[in-house]
Amino acid sequence: MSDRSTPPRHQRRIAYIVSRFPKLTETFILFELLAVERHGLAVELFPLMRARASGVHPEGQPLWRKVVERIRSDRGLPVMHPEAAPLVRRAHYSGFLTGAVVRDNIVVFRRGPRRYLRTLGQLLVDMAGSANYLVGSLAIFPLAVHFGERMRELGVEHVHAHFANHPATAAWIIHRTAGLPYSFTGHGADLQVDQHGLRRKVRDAAATVTISTYNRRFITEHTGLEDGRVTVIHCGVDTEVVAPPAGGRSPSDPPEVLCIGTFYEVKGHPVLIEACGILRDRGLRFVCRMVGEGPDRDQLERLVAERDLRDIVRFDGTMTRGQILDAMQSASVLVVPSVPTDSGRREGIPVVLMEAMASELPVVASAISGIPELVKDGHSGVLVPARDPTALADAVQGLLAEPARARRLGQAGREVVVEDFDQSANARRLVELIGLA
């Protein structure tokens, strides 16, 4: 991708709205943007907020809390994958209430006061009953109006949002005030925790996309709209870049159990730590590498100390995509011990599972949400019940004890990813769905 400030004017333009950019944990968005551009569209990126090297981990927090953390956070350089740098340089960042935002809202109000006020009023009605969505929607309303004006000036033909909550709300506001068609992709917790406004966003969208059939059923049940309004397009990985080691896998000694994910409740790290204690008590030699950061790190480190597992469980911090792929080359198994939370939060289909499977690394994952659509138990990986450390320990021990079986599962896992979770193919499906192919 070029570093130019804007793509050539002759290209058809799509605008993407995301919550925060760049984010190390949202590679699926970054690489989808790049894949969409490779399919011939010019991408204009409009993040609601800028992610920075603040040490703040906002996952699972309401928008108002994210805004407060953004204001308080370190104004240092953003932490990003190197592939994100060109997009960061040309992204359309804005404060929530700058002079330009105020001016554009005045322009849009004068152009159509009834439409402006009806859009704001409908938003208040739809979000009533949800403090998070109501406050968040009021915060992003003027920003979305401003973004809509910028998109019109740039010649944007379509708006696509990632996540069904605040980004999709912003896309709906732009549709109402700037007249641009929109679509959005729903993932996991953005659908499952709070459905205020979801029906209207699905009904008014040119297309609604979600990453799993599990989510499609969820949307249909909670909106009362027909199933055909929602299209399943999986997140994906570049199966040419993410591939098995050229010279074959060379697992480390002792074997490494790899777990990659932000340290917060839905990821289920305490279950893995308990499973590590069980495996240690059985006399198994291994190391567990925890890759990531997050609000629960201190709690997890205390649990490791309480279980006397500090020689076994390592905390490796955050890694770039390249470092993660390197770590997968020496690992023996990847574990994704996801759990459902009391608030209704669920994983979608973790991209790290796709990356591991594309690398032919055998995986163990919880049998929840859309994960069984990727990991077929006994064929392309091993599924275990959520919150069951004994079952998790049994699955990991079985793979370490049977390298031939582990290798067979890894090879089958790559076949599944190449067939149904290839990034380029799925980006092409999205471009065709929204009519810009």
3 is a domain residue = no
Q: What is the pLDDT of residue 62?
A: 52
Q: What is the pLDDT of residue 24?
A: 64
173 is a domain residue = yes
Q: What is the pLDDT of residue 228?
A: 84
Q: What is the pLDDT along the chain (437 residues), one digit of tens a residue?
A: 334 445 555 789 999 999 988 776 677 888 899 999 999 999 999 999 886 543 444 444 555 455 554 444 444 444 556 777 888 899 999 999 999 999 999 999 999 999 999 999 999 999 998 998 999 999 999 999 999 999 999 999 999 999 999 999 999 999 999 999 999 999 988 998 899 999 999 999 999 999 999 999 999 999 999 878 999 999 999 999 999 988 777 778 999 999 999 999 999 999 999 999 999 999 999 999 999 999 999 999 999 999 999 999 999 999 988 899 999 999 999 999 999 998 888 888 999 999 999 999 999 999 999 999 999 999 999 999 999 999 999 999 999 999 999 999 999 999 999 999 999 999 999 999 999 87
> Within this chain, do residues 131 and 183 fall inside the same structural domain, yes or no?
yes
21's CB contacts (< 8 A; 6+ apart) are 29, 45, 47, 50, 51, 84, 87, 88, 91
**Structural domain of 206:** 13-236+423-433
Where would I find the H helices in 290-330?
Answer: 297-306, 321-330
Euclidean distance between CA atoms 288 and 314, whole angstroms: 6
> Within this chain, do residues 128 and 170 fall inside the same structural domain, yes or no?
yes
Q: What is the pLDDT of residue 80?
A: 59
361 is a domain residue = yes
323 is a domain residue = yes
> Within this chain, do residues 101 and 143 fall inside the same structural domain, yes or no?
yes
Work out how many domains the chain is built from and give that number: 2
> Within this chain, do residues 292 and 164 fall inside the same structural domain, yes or no?
no
249 is a domain residue = no
Task: State which amino acid sits at residue 254.
Answer: P
> Within this chain, do residues 225 and 295 fall inside the same structural domain, yes or no?
no
> Within this chain, do residues 36 and 151 fall inside the same structural domain, yes or no?
yes
CB 52 within 8 A of CB 73: yes
> Within this chain, do residues 266 and 402 fall inside the same structural domain, yes or no?
yes
247 is a domain residue = no
392 is a domain residue = yes
Q: What is the pLDDT of residue 8?
A: 59
162 is a domain residue = yes
> Within this chain, do residues 225 and 267 fall inside the same structural domain, yes or no?
no
Q: What is the pLDDT of residue 7?
A: 57
H/E stretch holding 21: strand 13-21
Note the pTM of the prediction, 2 decimals: 0.87
> Within this chain, do residues 66 and 93 fall inside the same structural domain, yes or no?
yes
What CATH number does the domain containing 407 carry?
Answer: 3.40.50.2000
18-22-28-30 Cα dihedral, nearest 10 degrees: 90
> Within this chain, do residues 47 and 165 fall inside the same structural domain, yes or no?
yes
> Within this chain, do residues 187 and 336 fall inside the same structural domain, yes or no?
no
> Within this chain, do residues 302 and 348 fall inside the same structural domain, yes or no?
yes
CB 210 within 8 A of CB 216: yes
Which tokens sit at 390?
């004994």
Q: What is the pLDDT of residue 248?
A: 77
Residue range 302-349, pLDDT digits in tens: 999 999 999 999 999 999 888 999 999 999 999 999 999 988 888 889
